[in-house]
Structure 1
Amino acid sequence: MYSKGGSDSVCGRLFCLVIFVVLNGIVPYVATAELTLRPIGTFHTGLYDKSAAEIPTYCQKTKQVFVVNAESGRVDVLGLGANGSLTKVGSIDAADDLGNGMSAVNSVSVFDGTLAVAVEADVITENGWVAFYDTGSLQLKGTVEAGALPDMVTFTPDGQWVLVANEGEPNEEYSIDPEGTVTVVDVRNGFDQLKTRTVTFRDWNADGKHAQELPELKKRGLRVFGQVSQSGDLKKKTPATFAQDVEPEWIAVDHESHYAYVCLQEVNAVAEIDIADATVRRIIPLGYKNFGEAGSGIDASDEDNRVDIRPRSGLFGILQPDTVRIYQRNGRRLLVTANEGDSRVRPTSDDAVSGFEEGAVFEDEASLDDWPTSGTLFEKQTSDTELGRLKLVRDLVDDHLDEKGRPTQLFAFGSRSFSILDLTTGDLVFDSGDDFEQITAKRYPEFFNVSNDSLKKEKRSRSKGPEPEGLVLGTVGQKTYAFVGLERIGGIMVYDITQPESSKHVGYFNNRQFDVPATLGDGTANPDAGDSGIEGLIFVPAEKSPTSTNLVVVGNETSGTTTVWEVLTSQ
């Protein structure tokens, strides 16, 4: 089912057929010279663990990279030099330009000299806005209202439409849960004559015309699980509607600009949207990954003090991708997903709501000791060194109990992998299996499953592991590659996906310096520590790049850095 190969080593500019690289006293994977990444420029904000560098986008006209700086609430404008260097040349305060109670910038996208900026409201359950700027003058060109918590914005490939994923997250009390929506902005008549329509998911509510589809969709991996509290009594809850439960996270658009594929991360599905009609055509459940299969193992414990990646019978992962991308191969439309996983907890911290601890109002995270296991497959796996500390999906386990209330299957958040799906059939074409954990364990055995802000070995084993989050595709020569960012341990996994069913790993590139303190004495980010906390990635093809080479540009929210990686090949 899984195809594997390639290396986790960084090759230099001189190419050879096969290289063996010794790291930490062991020989990791065999490295081929097919493709390598080399960091050639970094912009340092100096801000550590402040989300100061998140989502980048690139303008060919101005040779500038625009990066979301959530800490400042602005967009940093970085000049990209002919040698790959990054220099700050300006910033955009979209919230100030918009006024109207606007707050943080969440996302950016560029098309033909126009920058779109998605901005959330001070009160996240209220509608946000999108502001449009000229990338040369940085002057405001137009604004348009979006939905609650606009989390991602993108132009269509033809530049005629702008799409906004309005996540619609609930408030801390979970007493207000806005509907997740998609705003379709028609920009064909210019940015002073913008027209909008809103795509909703109400047709899948209990009284909607597609409600009868829900049972079958749930069998294939869709979740509907939210519980909205009453403001006067937070312990008293009513089920969320489907439209409330969906939280659009990311949007990928086909090459013809006809259809958009909207990632609904929390409910584990993708929605296909007809852009011109502004309607949802279908919901595509993403299913589960079987951690019990050979080649799809998991390290499930942060307490065993060892790397223990192995199949776990009866354990499944709910994909819940963050970033999704589209490409076509032999007439097939394919969806590539970075399967991060995501839980919903309210309040999100102990001090967010007076009198309520974190998760006291709502929490879909659970552990194995929440259910009886005597006489089950999991009876001997309840210890902290087995499955006892693994974060489980409460509602899905509850849906798979026997007559005595004992679990027959377990479900964890995320799949610790990336996948390729056929969008016509919804079938899985490829999954990277346990590659990410196996490769990082060999490359960094002493730092296996560390977090982005911690060097504690195995800290992330109980929760999503390396946590693939960012993803971008790029064409190099005649081949298509997937560049997958690992949020926790860091680094970029590269796969050749030219032949989808036989996709292969070709490299793992990580410039995080584990032996260097992440911060300086004053608490600022240490520029010698490298990158950590990968968030967003973009691919800049050679014909649009000031370096005349293919580039991958990465925003790193923990280190507060934006880094330019040059793509080198033997072709």
Structure 2
Amino acid sequence: MIQKSLAVLAALFLIVGCDDIIDSGGGSEETVNEDPSTFKEIGTLTIGGTGAAEISAYDEISKKLFTVNNSSANKIDVIDLSDPSKPTLITSIDLAEYNGAANSVATSNGELAVALESKTSKQDLGKVVIFDTSNYALVKEVTVGALPDMITYSHNGRFILTANEGEPNDTYSQDPDGSVSIIDVASNYAVTTLTFGSFSGQLADLKSKGFRIASPTNNFAADIEPEYLTISSDSRTAWVTLQENNGIAKIDLATKKITQIFPLGYKDYNLAENALDINDKDGAVTFNTWKLKGMFQPDAISSFEVNNVQYVVTANEGDAREYSAFVDVRRINHSSVILDPTIFPNAATLKADASMGRLNINTKMGDIDGDGDFDELVGFGARSFSIWNGVTGQLVFDSKNDLDKKAQEFGVYDDGRSDDKSVEPEAVYVTKMGNKQILFVGLERADAFMVYDVSNPIAPKYLQTLKTGDAPEGLLFIPASKSPNKRSLVVVSSEGDGSIKIYQPELN
């Protein structure tokens, strides 16, 4: 209890007296001179099979890693990281009594926060359960929105935020509002849950700029599906990706209000710089241009600042909706996909498997004149990472087809995913190493992550590619100042094979 009391006092100090202190969630001062282009694997631990290593969080006080394990019994595995080259599983936190399934974890000031969706029904309200990282004792249990999919602490420790996806059931008879919950640590963990209904009057303008609302009910608030959060280094602003909707929302944490929705528009695959491979059956990786658009539809998001300008970077994974009551994805070769003969005079050729036929497109978009055929083709995801201005929402940089090409060069491109979302960028994380802003991009279908220098946001520089376990889901950076060995570490959790891998850079 003494250790817990000290942790609480430390948290209160941060909250009331030092708003700008940054924790391991985003860019901290480094104490060693490291080369961010020289990361290599130094340790690995396999904790189970499929679903055994989804998201991890590191606690500096106890030098422990906490990892969501949904392979069998729902639990949080606790891993001793005091020697990063020899991570050791020491115990597990059983979550059975909380009637929820863990989706995400976060740590701050000796606390572990776990986001749990309801096991009774994913459409019911979810919860956040908070534990003491030293003895795993329950600190607090609070109710949040439906299906909390991601959780994070603000850098000053004051707030815990959850992105509550609010997915419908299979028949759409229940479709809870998507939401963001803000938990005020200093106010006995009081919860404010924000929904998006107040923006419904902007729908026409948002849709004209690429925002997407589409479901059997077309209910604006329910159709919004928050996915992933990032918080500015001063703990005043949050951004949340609205993946299925092709947008980002901005939140003022002081007023606890959603202030803006940024529609993300489309990527033009008819440009040479965006050329892509769309055939998963031809036995080759060939990049070509096509009369095709792509929604960005980001999954993960991370924030950083350069020259007092706020930026956010997104992993443009893409996502379709496939329920018994609503399906928005089909291959172009499907009989229901009829191309406008004026816009696509070579429609029969394009629908062949050897051409565009294998590609998955959104069937609820593209009929611009409402006559039942497709006037344009829109795909899922942008197969890239993008950098956006955090204030205006304007696109600053897109990696075009660099992730696909670098994956092919490295020998990890999976041609079996060319028809869908290719390497599937899932995770992004930006941090400061020395005087550089370094970006890590996790590629779920390539089993790898890439490293870029984004110190100049309009012209990032590629640094390296590293192999991971199967289907990397979580990507965590531990700065040298908080690391157990005082060296920067990247921790990758891979849900496909239940492995955790740890990487460290060389010294300059």
TM score, norm. by length of structure 2: 0.89
Change (3 A) 1:82 1:178: same
Match of 2:48 in 1: 46
Change (3 A) 1:536 1:403: closer
Please, which of 255, 280, 284 is the counterpart of residue 302 of structure 1? 280
Root-mean-square deviation (CA), in Å?
Answer: 1.6
SS of residue in 2 equivalent to 1:441: helix
Match of 1:62 in 2: 62
Match of 2:413 in 1: 448
Please, which of 174, 196, 204 is the counterpart of residue 201 of structure 1? 196
Please, which of 134, 137, 141 is the counterpart of residue 136 of structure 1? 134
Measured against aligned partners, the alpha-carbon deviations of 1:335-359 in whole angstroms (never above 9, x if no partner) come to 1000000011114xxxxxxxxxxxx
- Asked if 1 retains the 8 angstrom alpha-carbon contact of 2:47 and 2:89, the reply is no
- Asked if 2 retains the 8 angstrom alpha-carbon contact of 1:495 and 1:507, the reply is yes
SS of residue in 1 equivalent to 2:365: helix
Match of 1:248 in 2: 226
Match of 1:90 in 2: 91
SS of residue in 2 equivalent to 1:214: helix
Measured against aligned partners, the alpha-carbon deviations of 1:214-237 in whole angstroms (never above 9, x if no partner) come to 21111111000011xxxxxxxxxx
Change (3 A) 1:403 1:448: same
Q: Distance in 2 between matches of 1:168 and 1:182?
A: 10
SS of residue in 1 equivalent to 2:149: strand
Measured against aligned partners, the alpha-carbon deviations of 1:97-127 in whole angstroms (never above 9, x if no partner) come to x3xxx22111111001011011111111101
Shift of 1:43: 1.4
Residue 462 (1) aligns with residue 400 (2) = no
Please, which of 150, 157, 163 is the counterpart of residue 159 of structure 1? 157
Moved more, 422-431 or 496-505: 422-431
Q: Distance in 2 between matches of 1:103 and 1:133?
A: 15
Any unmatched runs of 5+ in structure 1?
A: 1-32, 206-210, 228-238, 348-360, 450-457, 512-530
Q: Distance in 1 between matches of 2:95 and 2:237?
A: 29
Match of 1:410 in 2: 377
- Asked if 2 retains the 8 angstrom alpha-carbon contact of 1:95 and 1:119, the reply is no
Shift of 1:373: 4.3
Q: Distance in 1 between matches of 2:489 and 2:263?
A: 33
Shift of 1:443: 2.3
Q: Distance in 2 between matches of 1:261 and 1:44?
A: 33
Residue 216 (1) aligns with residue 214 (2) = no
Residue 124 (1) aligns with residue 126 (2) = no
Match of 2:14 in 1: none
Q: Distance in 2 between matches of 1:113 and 1:403?
A: 56
Q: How does 1:243-282 map to 2 (within 5 A)?
A: 243-282=221-260
Fraction of identical pairs, as percent: 37
- Asked if 1 retains the 8 angstrom alpha-carbon contact of 2:339 and 2:375, the reply is no
- Asked if 2 retains the 8 angstrom alpha-carbon contact of 1:168 and 1:244, the reply is yes
- Asked if 1 retains the 8 angstrom alpha-carbon contact of 2:179 and 2:226, the reply is yes
Equivalent residue letter for 2:191: T
Q: Distance in 1 between matches of 2:122 and 2:432?
A: 38
Q: Distance in 2 between matches of 1:172 and 1:477?
A: 49
Match of 1:552 in 2: 490
Equivalent residue letter for 1:136: S
Please, which of 314, 319, 322 is the counterpart of residue 345 of structure 1? 322
Shift of 1:34: 6.0
Shift of 1:422: 0.8
SS of residue in 1 equivalent to 2:135: coil
Shift of 1:547: 2.0
Q: Distance in 2 between matches of 1:215 and 1:376?
A: 25
Q: Distance in 2 between matches of 1:56 and 1:198?
A: 25
Match of 1:35 in 2: 37
Residue 396 (1) aligns with residue 365 (2) = yes
SS of residue in 1 equivalent to 2:366: helix
Residue 364 (1) aligns with residue 296 (2) = no
- Asked if 1 retains the 8 angstrom alpha-carbon contact of 2:340 and 2:375, the reply is no
Q: Distance in 1 between matches of 2:39 and 2:364?
A: 41
Residue 427 (1) aligns with residue 394 (2) = yes
Measured against aligned partners, the alpha-carbon deviations of 1:268-319 in whole angstroms (never above 9, x if no partner) come to 111111223222111111111111112211101112221111222x211111
Q: Distance in 1 between matches of 2:413 and 2:54?
A: 24
SS of residue in 2 equivalent to 1:395: coil
Measured against aligned partners, the alpha-carbon deviations of 1:491-536 in whole angstroms (never above 9, x if no partner) come to 011111000011111111115xxxxxxxxxxxxxxxxxxx110001
Shift of 1:407: 2.8
Match of 1:436 in 2: 403
Shift of 1:84: 2.8
SS of residue in 1 equivalent to 2:364: helix
Match of 1:80 in 2: 81
Match of 2:17 in 1: none
SS of residue in 2 equivalent to 1:152: strand
Change (3 A) 1:385 1:61: same
Equivalent residue letter for 1:44: T
Equivalent residue letter for 2:194: V
- Asked if 2 retains the 8 angstrom alpha-carbon contact of 1:78 and 1:90, the reply is yes
Number of matched pairs: 467
TM score, norm. by length of structure 1: 0.79
